[in-house]
């Protein structure tokens, strides 16, 4: 069994290069070839033995790396129970090899040319043909090309965060080396507006996102909220991915979309779902990582809720009693108490969406709520700076007097 597993490892290596069987939606996307899609790092997820059952013992951990210039490498470490394992692929429980690869996209096969291995001549010089399949959830399934071998190995993409000093253009190149993660590249922007491409990189990628007064994670939350509020789907592919890379959890992104269905409209939320569902599939994000439909709710602040309810009843009740009912029962007795977003973050989402959509009348209540939940004055100030780029200067300048009023009253 173990030998079969090790064969599967290298097979997968080979196949990872071809690891991207084109899905229909990808054929019309940003990248057109399998070779473009498999480049990057992959982590072993599972192995199936020749009997068709998952292998659960002596399974190694490790990574595969494929480069755009046709090179690959693999390192796999077996558990202590298999530390004496040695064969053509493994020496004393450790597998390491490198080489080059060729892909035949018509047959979805890849040949791995072994050029170096810790097992020496046992593997060096061999050409290993494998069949690859790119699953809808973004994982790679690698199988032997031989009819007498029935093992398979499944790999998932290893996602890395962008280095703090990596330019936006480099990040986009890294993103696009895998599967489409941006609707437009800087090169494409430059064909229409060289100045816009310059500002995109120098002002946003190399400056705005590195400012210290708001964490990269919070910038991801603010940007996602602004895009959904304004229904700007052109930016969602890139910035949903970027938010996840910057520390926003899949459950939090899911909950932001749910929350903004109420504050930006159902159609805006559904537009976000259409983008996020493919991202979740590409990243292998399943239902187990998403918020429950009806979770145990957070405790409610009875005094604050009574004050809110009284003011809404007085201001809205005589005009639209139905709005009062849903505002209390659905929003503040349920939506705002869902635990997938911390109260501070839920308020940050709301404030960002309100400013981005020009709805400044509601900002005082929600900004005060955010600051009561832990958002600092410096962070609130930086939200305005960040939103100037994603919602436009006029929306931010309209919000500045309102935010100033909140700051002054809190100081008093």
For residues 73 and 65, is the Cβ–Cβ distance under 8 A? yes
- Which residue range forms the structural domain that includes residue 41? 2-157
Residue 92: inside a domain, yes or no? yes
Distance (Å, rounded) from C-alpha 29 to C-alpha 59?
36
For residues 276 and 240, is the Cβ–Cβ distance under 8 A? yes
132 and 195 fall within a common domain: no
Three-state DSSP at 55 gives coil
279 and 311 fall within a common domain: yes
Looking at residue 128, its pLDDT comes to: 85
For residues 93 and 83, is the Cβ–Cβ distance under 8 A? yes
Which of 157, 190, 211 terminates a domain? The answer is 157
152 and 172 fall within a common domain: no
146 and 199 fall within a common domain: no
235 and 121 fall within a common domain: no
Distance (Å, rounded) from C-alpha 373 to C-alpha 383?
16
Looking at residue 161, its pLDDT comes to: 45
List Cβ<8 Å contacts ≥24 apart for 21-27: 21/108, 21/132, 21/133, 21/134, 22/105, 22/134, 23/134, 23/136, 25/278, 26/179, 26/180
Looking at residue 39, its pLDDT comes to: 82
Backbone angles phi, psi at 129, to 5 degrees: -80, 135
Counting the structural domains of the chain, the total is 2
Burial of 165 (0-12, 13-18, 19+ CB in 10 A): exposed
Q: CATH code at 184?
A: 1.20.1290.10
153 and 175 fall within a common domain: no
Which of 157, 180, 201 terminates a domain? The answer is 157
111 and 236 fall within a common domain: no
Residue 76 has pLDDT above 70, yes or no: yes
For residues 8 and 45, is the Cβ–Cβ distance under 8 A? no
The string of pLDDT tens digits covering residues 232-247 is 999 999 999 999 999 9
145 and 176 fall within a common domain: no
318 and 346 fall within a common domain: yes
More confident residue, 262 or 73: 262
91 and 111 fall within a common domain: yes
Residue 136: inside a domain, yes or no? yes
The string of pLDDT tens digits covering residues 288-319 is 999 999 999 999 999 999 999 999 999 999 99
Distance (Å, rounded) from C-alpha 104 to C-alpha 180?
21
Residue 37: inside a domain, yes or no? yes
Residue 91: inside a domain, yes or no? yes
220 and 365 fall within a common domain: yes
pTM score of the predicted model: 0.60
List Cβ<8 Å contacts ≥24 apart for 367-372: 367/403, 367/406, 368/406, 368/410, 369/343, 370/344, 371/406, 371/410
Residue 163: inside a domain, yes or no? no
Residue 90: inside a domain, yes or no? yes
Q: CATH code at 13?
A: 2.40.128.280
Residue 162: inside a domain, yes or no? no
Residue 185: inside a domain, yes or no? yes
Residue 111 has pLDDT above 80, yes or no: yes
Which of 157, 186, 220 terminates a domain? The answer is 157
222 and 196 fall within a common domain: yes
Distance (Å, rounded) from C-alpha 318 to C-alpha 301?
26
For residues 98 and 75, is the Cβ–Cβ distance under 8 A? no
More confident residue, 165 or 382: 382
């Amino acid at each position: 069994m173990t030998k079969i597993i090790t064969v599967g490892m290298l097979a997968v290596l080979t196949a990872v290069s071809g690891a991207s069987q084109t899905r229909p939606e990808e054929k019309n996307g940003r990248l057109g070839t399998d070779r473009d899609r498999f480049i990057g790092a992959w982590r072993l997820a599972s192995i199936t033995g020749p009997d068709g059952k998952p292998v659960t013992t002596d399974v190694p951990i490790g990574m595969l790396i494929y480069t755009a210039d046709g090179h690959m490498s693999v390192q796999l470490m077996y558990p202590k129970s298999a530390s004496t394992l040695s064969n053509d692929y493994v020496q004393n429980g450790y597998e390491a090899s490198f080489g080059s690869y060729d892909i035949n996209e018509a047959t979805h096969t890849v040949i791995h040319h072994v050029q170096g291995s810790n097992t020496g001549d046992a593997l060096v010089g061999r050409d290993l043909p494998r069949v690859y399949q790119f699953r809808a959830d973004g994982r790679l399934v690698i199988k032997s090309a031989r009819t007498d071998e029935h093992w398979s190995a499944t790999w998932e993409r290893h996602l890395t965060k962008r280095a703090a000093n990596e330019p936006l253009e480099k990040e986009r190149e890294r993103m696009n080396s895998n599967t489409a993660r941006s609707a437009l590249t800087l090169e494409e922007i430059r064909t229409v507006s060289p100045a816009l491409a310059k500002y995109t990189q120098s002002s946003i990628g190399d400056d705005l996102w590195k400012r210290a007064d708001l964490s990269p994670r919070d910038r991801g939350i603010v940007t996602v909220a602004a895009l959904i509020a304004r229904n700007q789907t052109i930016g969602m592919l890139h910035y949903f991915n970027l938010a996840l890379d910057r520390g926003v959890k899949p459950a939090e992104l899911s909950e932001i979309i749910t929350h903004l269905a109420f504050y930006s409209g159902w159609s805006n939320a559904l537009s976000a779902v259409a983008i996020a569902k493919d991202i979740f599939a590409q990243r292998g994000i399943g239902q187990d990582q998403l918020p429950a439909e009806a979770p145990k709710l957070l405790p409610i602040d009875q005094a604050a809720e009574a004050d809110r309810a009284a003011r809404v009843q007085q201001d809205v009740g005589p005009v639209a009693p139905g709005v009062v009912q849903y505002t209390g029962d659905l929003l503040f007795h349920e939506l705002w108490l869902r635990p997938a977003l911390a109260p501070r973050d839920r308020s940050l989402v709301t404030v960002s969406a309100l400013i981005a959509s020009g709805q400044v009348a509601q900002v005082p209540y929600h900004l005060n709520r955010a600051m009561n939940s832990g958002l600092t004055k410096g962070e609130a100030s930086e939200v305005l700076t960040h939103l100037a780029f994603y919602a436009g200067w006029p929306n931010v300048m309209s919000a500045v007097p309102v935010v100033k009023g909140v700051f002054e009253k809190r100081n008093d």
